[in-house]
Amino acid sequence: MLVHRCDVCVGAVVVARALDYETVKEYIITIEARDGGTPSLSSSAVVKVLVVDANDNRPVFARNNYTAVVREDVAVNTSLLQVGRSVRGTSLHLLLR
Protein backbone atom coordinates (compact mmCIF):
# COMPACT_ATOMS: atom_id res chain seq x y z
CA MET A 1 0.00 0.00 0.00
CA LEU A 2 1.56 3.30 -1.09
CA VAL A 3 1.95 5.75 1.79
CA HIS A 4 4.36 8.12 0.10
CA ARG A 5 5.13 9.49 -3.31
CA CYS A 6 8.16 11.28 -4.71
CA ASP A 7 8.00 14.59 -6.52
CA VAL A 8 10.91 14.24 -8.95
CA CYS A 9 10.85 17.93 -9.84
CA VAL A 10 11.80 19.07 -6.33
CA GLY A 11 13.07 15.83 -4.78
CA ALA A 12 10.35 15.76 -2.11
CA VAL A 13 8.91 12.67 -0.43
CA VAL A 14 5.34 13.44 0.61
CA VAL A 15 2.58 11.56 2.46
CA ALA A 16 0.08 10.06 0.01
CA ARG A 17 -2.51 8.81 2.56
CA ALA A 18 -3.31 9.09 6.26
CA LEU A 19 -0.80 7.56 8.67
CA ASP A 20 -1.80 5.59 11.78
CA TYR A 21 0.77 5.08 14.55
CA GLU A 22 -1.17 2.14 16.00
CA THR A 23 -0.91 0.33 12.65
CA VAL A 24 2.61 1.20 11.42
CA LYS A 25 5.19 2.99 13.57
CA GLU A 26 7.90 3.44 10.94
CA TYR A 27 8.58 3.27 7.22
CA ILE A 28 11.88 2.50 5.49
CA ILE A 29 12.05 4.06 2.01
CA THR A 30 14.86 3.56 -0.50
CA ILE A 31 15.17 6.44 -2.96
CA GLU A 32 17.18 6.05 -6.14
CA ALA A 33 18.20 8.84 -8.51
CA ARG A 34 19.39 8.17 -12.08
CA ASP A 35 20.77 10.53 -14.65
CA GLY A 36 19.93 10.42 -18.34
CA GLY A 37 23.46 9.66 -19.52
CA THR A 38 24.91 6.62 -21.24
CA PRO A 39 25.88 4.70 -19.27
CA SER A 40 23.30 5.77 -16.72
CA LEU A 41 24.75 6.71 -13.34
CA SER A 42 22.74 6.33 -10.14
CA SER A 43 22.85 6.82 -6.42
CA SER A 44 20.52 5.74 -3.65
CA ALA A 45 19.65 6.75 -0.10
CA VAL A 46 17.62 5.07 2.63
CA VAL A 47 15.12 7.22 4.49
CA LYS A 48 13.64 6.07 7.80
CA VAL A 49 10.33 7.79 8.66
CA LEU A 50 9.18 7.51 12.29
CA VAL A 51 5.46 8.06 12.87
CA VAL A 52 4.67 9.91 16.12
CA ASP A 53 1.46 9.07 18.00
CA ALA A 54 -1.14 11.84 17.74
CA ASN A 55 -3.05 10.61 20.82
CA ASP A 56 -6.16 9.98 18.76
CA ASN A 57 -7.69 7.40 21.11
CA ARG A 58 -9.93 8.42 23.97
CA PRO A 59 -9.05 7.28 27.48
CA VAL A 60 -10.98 4.32 28.88
CA PHE A 61 -11.49 3.87 32.62
CA ALA A 62 -10.84 0.45 34.15
CA ARG A 63 -14.30 0.50 35.78
CA ASN A 64 -17.51 2.47 35.22
CA ASN A 65 -18.04 3.38 38.88
CA TYR A 66 -15.70 4.20 41.77
CA THR A 67 -16.60 4.73 45.43
CA ALA A 68 -14.59 6.37 48.19
CA VAL A 69 -15.52 6.68 51.88
CA VAL A 70 -14.07 9.86 53.35
CA ARG A 71 -14.23 11.28 56.87
CA GLU A 72 -15.47 14.83 57.10
CA ASP A 73 -12.30 16.00 58.84
CA VAL A 74 -9.96 14.81 56.08
CA ALA A 75 -7.07 17.23 55.45
CA VAL A 76 -7.05 19.43 52.36
CA ASN A 77 -5.07 17.90 49.45
CA THR A 78 -5.48 14.36 50.78
CA SER A 79 -5.74 11.79 47.97
CA LEU A 80 -9.27 10.39 48.03
CA LEU A 81 -9.23 7.78 45.30
CA GLN A 82 -6.92 6.33 42.68
CA VAL A 83 -8.56 5.34 39.40
CA GLY A 84 -7.04 3.59 36.44
CA ARG A 85 -7.45 4.59 32.86
CA SER A 86 -5.76 3.54 29.69
CA VAL A 87 -5.26 4.76 26.19
CA ARG A 88 -4.63 2.08 23.59
CA GLY A 89 -1.01 1.07 24.04
CA THR A 90 -0.42 3.11 27.21
CA SER A 91 -1.74 3.27 30.71
CA LEU A 92 -1.35 5.55 33.68
CA HIS A 93 -3.02 6.31 36.99
CA LEU A 94 -4.65 9.59 37.88
CA LEU A 95 -4.98 10.92 41.40
CA LEU A 96 -8.21 12.68 42.25
CA ARG A 97 -7.91 15.24 44.99
| CB contact at 8 A, 59 and 87 | yes
39 & 73 share domain: no
Summarised one tens digit per residue, pLDDT across range 5-48 is 666 667 777 888 888 888 899 999 888 888 888 998 999 888 88
**Quick one: pLDDT at residue 43?**
92
Classified as helix, coil or strand, 97 is: coil
3-state helix, strand, coil in the chain (%, to 5): 0, 45, 55
DSSP one-letter code for 52: P
43 & 78 share domain: no
Distance (Å, rounded) from C-alpha 15 to C-alpha 5?
7
Backbone angles phi, psi at 28, to 5 degrees: -115, 120
45 & 8 share domain: yes
55 in a structural domain: no
**Quick one: pLDDT at residue 3?**
61
> How far from the centroid of its chain's Cα atoms is residue 85's Cα?
18
DSSP one-letter code for 51: P
Number of domains in the chain: 2
- Domain residues for the domain of 31 are 4-50
Summarised one tens digit per residue, pLDDT across range 38-93 is 998 999 888 888 998 877 777 777 888 888 888 889 888 888 887 776 655 554 44
| CB contact at 8 A, 20 and 87 | no
8 & 41 share domain: yes
Distance (Å, rounded) from C-alpha 48 to C-alpha 29?
6
